[in-house]
Structures are given as C-alpha cells and as structure tokens.
Structure 1
Amino acid sequence: MIFKGLLTALITPLDTNDNIDFRALEFLVERQVASGINGLVIAGSTGEGSSLSDEEYYELIKTVIDCSKGRIPIIAGVVGVSTASVCEKVSILSNMNIEGLMCTAPHYIRPEQEGLYQHFKAINNASTLPIMIYLHPGRTGCDMSDSTILKLAALDKIVALKDCSSDIEKPLRLLPRLSSTFVFLAGDDNRFLAYSAHGGVGCVSVIANIFPKLCKKIESLWNSGDLIKARELQQQLMPLMTAIFSESNPIGIKCAAHDLKLCGDKIRLPLTKAREDTRKKINELMLDVIGLEKDV
C-alpha cells in the first residue's frame, strides 16, 4: 500500500522567470528521500498543479521520476473540471513510471453526489494505477457523502481518501463498513494525530517540505505507541503551522522553504508572495523548530 505513512505534498520550485527550477527540484527530492519520507505527491495543490501548463506538468513528473530513481513512491496529483480531460490525463499518467494517483473532486462546478460518483468511476476505469481521492470542500466547493465514499471504495482502483474536510470522524463511521484495503489519510498537518486516533493511517503533509525528519519522527512515535512524545512534538510545531497556513497554501510553505534556502519563493499568480508580517512570523518561529529538526 503506497497510500500510507508520511507523504510529502511537494512544492514546485520556480525560478525568477516563472519557470520550473529543475535544479532546486532535484535538491528537494534528494532531501525528501534522505529523510525517509514514505512517498511524494507531485503537482497537487501545494505543488501548484492547477497553475502548470500540460507540458510543464508532465515534465515536472518525469523529472521527479528521474531524480527519485525508484527509491521512493511517486504519486501524481490530478485535477480538472472536465471528466473527459481528467480521464485523458489519467491514461497518460498510467503509462508513466509512477506508483499512484491523487485525484481531486472537480472544483467550481459543484457536482451532485451522483455526478461525483460517475466522475470518479470514469477515472477508475481509465486508470491502471491505484487512486487516492482528494477531498477538500474548502477548495472545490463540494463535499462527499458517506454513501458516495462507500460506493467509490467498491471500485477496484480507488483504495484511499485524503481528507481535508473538517469531519475527522469519517474513518470512525466508515471503516467498519469498508474493506480492510481501503484507507484514510489526514490532509492537514494539524489534524494528523487526531485523525490517526480515529483510524487514519498517515498524512499528506505540507510541513514535511521544510522539516521532513521531524514530521517523520512524529509519525514514527505515533506508530510505536509513544503518544505523549508525538503530541509534544506536534504541539511545538503548531505555532509554525498556524503561521504557514495563515495565507493560502502554498504561500506560507514557499516562504518558509525560501527562508531555509531550499528554493526560491516565486509563486504563480493569482497567488502572491507572503505578506511581510506573515514572512516575519514564519522566520521567527522557524528558529526554534530548526533545533528540533537537528535533534531528530
């Protein structure tokens, strides 16, 4: 199962000319691999996938595949409002050397539950790869009912759900009614431990872009049963998480990555660079967390 553990929703570094910075990208991938992360999610919302041209999108994924050299699972983020165009993209990705797909509910058009089911059913039929549904009502404008999730989980390729809704009880309600092969992952760093307590098996993390070892340590402590230490480390990260997510993701995480000299802070419009007060707060809070990361 590739949809398990700590998966980093990788940022897409851009140069000053607004092109993908492939040198910085290779550095970021190497750093993630060395930190023991369980997998990389490429071109999701954190990776500004919706702002990339098709050419950039496929070149980004190909470059990550080449850089990773099979050392870590690669999961491609897939987004689109047209079912036909998404299925075309899924067919292309199915022939690339990746391990899975993270597919987002269509944004803006707000389909009904039957429309969501038919959309993901078509994706399922177009794919040869395992699929994780990305549920984020705040970004897409539509939620998914329990009955729709249960119907989709019965399809052969749909095996996981990344949950960015506020309903952390979803695994508690649905796991008893699902096959043991279907899993739930937290989509928000600040809900990781609470979601895990309700049956989640991992987190698609934004913060792991900058502190992968520390995030992996929290996950390892949870898995080993040291709940108090896991909670203490997460508590120490919480102020920084709050600051990073005070503006639309990935504004804050790109600011933090730039401050750590991991890559530039260039971001695609209509997103803009972090405000000065946000930048100052992130920089101040990271000073304490850097020490924690070094001690892991």
Structure 2
Amino acid sequence: MFEGSLVALVTPFDSRNRVDYGAVERLVEFHVAAGSNGLVVAGTTGESATLLKGEHAELIKNVVDMVAGRMPVIAGTGSNSTSQTIDLSLEVAECGIDAYLMVAPYYNKPVQEGIYQHFVTIAEQVDKPIMLYNVPGRTVTDILPETVARLAAHPKIFGIKEATGSVQRLKDIKALVPDSFRLFSGDDFTVCDFIEVGGHGVVTVSGNLAPAALATLCRLASNGELEAARALDATLQPLNTALFVESNPIPVKWALAEMGLIEAHIRLPLTPFSERYHEQMINAMNTAGIALKAAS
C-alpha cells in the first residue's frame, strides 16, 4: 500500500487564522488528479506544532472524507509525550486513516531505550500501522539504526521516514531490518539515490508543488530507469533548494499561493516568506515546469 511519493500536505489557513477547508479540498483534488501516491496530514509541513488538538483531529478526519479512498492517508499524530500521542492517535483511529506518522520525541532528549519504549508503548495501544519519523535536525533526538531494527520487529511498526539526508544511514538501516520494512526518504534532495539503494519512496515537501513529477520520479527510480529519473530530478533540484531557504513550510505555502491553490497565511512563530527569496522561488518553479496563477 505504501510506496512512491507521499506528499507532506500543507495546512492552509484563512485570514482569520482558521483552517481553510475549501483550500484543503482544492489540494486534495490537485493531488488525486496528479497521481500522488498518498498524503501525510498534520506533519511538520502541515504545521502540526501549532494545531490545537481539536483542529488537528478535525483536519485529519476531513481529509480522509475528501480523499474518499482514492489514495492512502497517513495521519501525523506524534509528539514528545507518549500519553498525548496515544490520546490523539485514538481520537482519529476510527475515521478511516491508513496509518500513523510518529516523530521521534523532541525536546525531552530520551536515550535510545526511551525512544524504543515510547514507540512500543504507543504501538501496543493503537490498531493502525505506524511509520516512524526520524528528523534529528528538528528533534535533536536520533533514532539510531539499531533502535530502528528493534522497533521493526513489532508487528504494528511498518516503516520509517528517514530525514537525515544520509544515504549511508539508509544502507545501515536496511542491513538490519526485514525486507518487508518500508523505507521512505524525508529529504527531497536525495530521492533518486535513496530509492536506488533500496528505499521505497519519499515523504515529500516538493510534491506539494510538483506532485506529478515526484510521483513519476519515484516510479522511474523504482523501475531502475535511472537515467530518466536523474534527468527529471535535475529539473527539481532548484525547487528543493528554494523550499528550504527558510524554515519549512514558509516557502512552500508562499509558492502554493502563487499557484492560486491557497492563501499564503502561516501561523506564528513562523513568519511570511522573505521577499528577497521570491525571485529564486519563481525561477525554481519555472525550471520545474510549475504553472503560476495568471496575473489579475
């Protein structure tokens, strides 16, 4: 079920700082039409850190209803609190999600045994499969390969979003886990290399803007058509760079607004995209063949 380009969906807000469900539906239909392989809702790119619990659960439930079974939906429910993660996960368990994405506990700085116990305790309480999410650049915590291997033995834990950007890390994990364990890049820069050495796809930020290209890139790389995959990847690398000149999801929300899909509202403590990067982003979008909205 889980492979290819899983888009880390943004959460659009309106001018009153509420979730804009009209824009959410436009995004869902955009990804269905473009052939994205799945959506990850309320993750980092979805500004989960600033969603209230009620908003968080409502967003997930609404996206599931909008998707209506046309692609898998993975719900981001992880936090640095084991009990709060269980609570939110159970809140959305019956709405039709296909899996959970759960980030490594942040701020607390648990040791590897604490990380292991955190995820196993959660897995014992939920019925849906869990994708681990390792992003040390944000959490400080790092789920080491040996801990991933221990967690992979649990029947509820099916894969990992590995966002270190290290292909060697993928190789280290792959050597320790069963072949059935699903390996997803959390780094758009290295998708081709990641899939070439055994990854199954990407949880992508760039796919918000270029969903068809990311789905095609994953398919080509998975099929061993590496020359074509690398040629396509080259058109996306300037976009990957532009999307991280400021903290994600600041740049991607601005770019989606330039496409006419959402309004460019973002919640504090994140701030609007700096004007000095606008030209770089527009140029990158043009290189990737992304259509901008017509000037009014």
TM more than 0.5: yes
**Equivalent position amino acid for 2:266 in 1:** I
Instruction: Report deviation, 1:203.
Output: 0.3
What SS does structure 1 have at the residue aligned with 2:262?
coil
Shift of 1:175: 2.4
Superposition pairs for residues 45-60 of structure 1, below 5 Å? 45-60=44-59
Q: Point out the more displaced range, 222-231 or 10-19.
A: 222-231
Query: Is residue 214–residue 292 contact of structure 1 (8 Å, CA) maintained in 2?
Result: no
Q: Would you say the 8 A contact 2:34–2:211 is kept in 1?
A: yes
- Tell me, yes or no, if the aligned pair for 1:99 and 1:130 is still in contact at 8 Å: yes
Aligned to 2:91: 92
**Residues 1:152 and 2:146 aligned together:** no
Tell me the SS of whatever aligns to 1:177.
coil
TM-superposed CA distance for 1:99, in Å, is 0.3
Letter in 1 for 2:9: L
CA shift at 1:291, angstroms?
6.1
Q: TM-score, normalised by structure 2?
A: 0.95
SS at match of 2:18: coil
1-structure distance, mates of 2:31, 2:245: 25
Work out whether 1:114 is the aligned partner of 2:113: yes
**TM-score with structure 1 setting the length:** 0.95
| Residue 30 of structure 2: aligned partner | 31
Quick one: structure 1 residues 28 and 292, their matched pair in 2 at CA, closer, same or farther if it must change by over 3 Å? closer
Deviations 1:261-289 (A, max 9, x none): 11111011000111001122112321232
1:167 aligned residue: 166
Verify: 1:16 aligned to 2:12, yes or no. Answer: no
**Equivalents in 1 of 2:272, 2:68: separation in Å?**
32
Report Cα offsets for 1:156-176 as digits up to 9, x if no partner.
100100000133223323324
Gaps of 5+ in 1: none
Partner-residue secondary structure (3-state), 1:133: strand
Q: Name 1:191's counterpart in structure 2.
A: 190
- In the alignment, what sits opposite 1:203? 202
Q: Counterpart amino acid of 1:100?
A: A
Q: Is the 8 A contact 1:243 1:252 kept in 2?
A: yes
In the aligned structure 2, how far is the partner of 1:71 from the partner of 1:145?
34
Deviations 1:119-149 (A, max 9, x none): 0011111110010000000110111222211
Q: Secondary structure at the match of 1:126?
A: coil
Are 2:4 and 1:5 equivalent residues in the alignment?
yes
Q: Which residue of 2 aligns with 1:43?
A: 42
Paired with 1:178 and 1:288, the residues of 2 have a C-alpha distance of 38
RMSD of equivalent CA atoms: 1.5
Residue 236 of structure 1 deviates from its aligned partner by 1.4
For the residues of structure 2 that align with 1:82 and 1:223, how far apart are their CA atoms? 36
Change (3 A) 1:290 1:23: same
Partners of 2:238 and 2:286 in 1: CA distance: 12
After TM superposition, the structure 1 = structure 2 runs for residues 256-275 of structure 1, keeping only pairs within 5 Å, are: 256-275=255-274
Aligned length: 292
Q: Moved runs in structure 1, 4+ residues, more than 4 A?
A: none
Could you tell me which runs of 5 or more consecutive residues in structure 2 were left unpaired when the two chains were aligned: none
Which residue does 1:130 correspond to in 2?
Answer: 129
What letter matches 1:264 in structure 2? E
2:182 maps to amino acid: V
Distance in structure 2 (CA, Å) of the matches to 1:74 and 1:15:
23
> Using the alignment, how far apart are the partners of 2:34 and 2:25 within structure 1?
14
CA distance 1:280–1:87, shift in 2 (3 Å):
same
2:71 aligned with 1:67:
no
Distance 1:86 1:283 in 2: 38
| CA distance in structure 2 between the aligned counterparts of 1:93 and 1:252, rounded to whole angstroms | 29
Deviation (angstroms), 1:292: 9.2
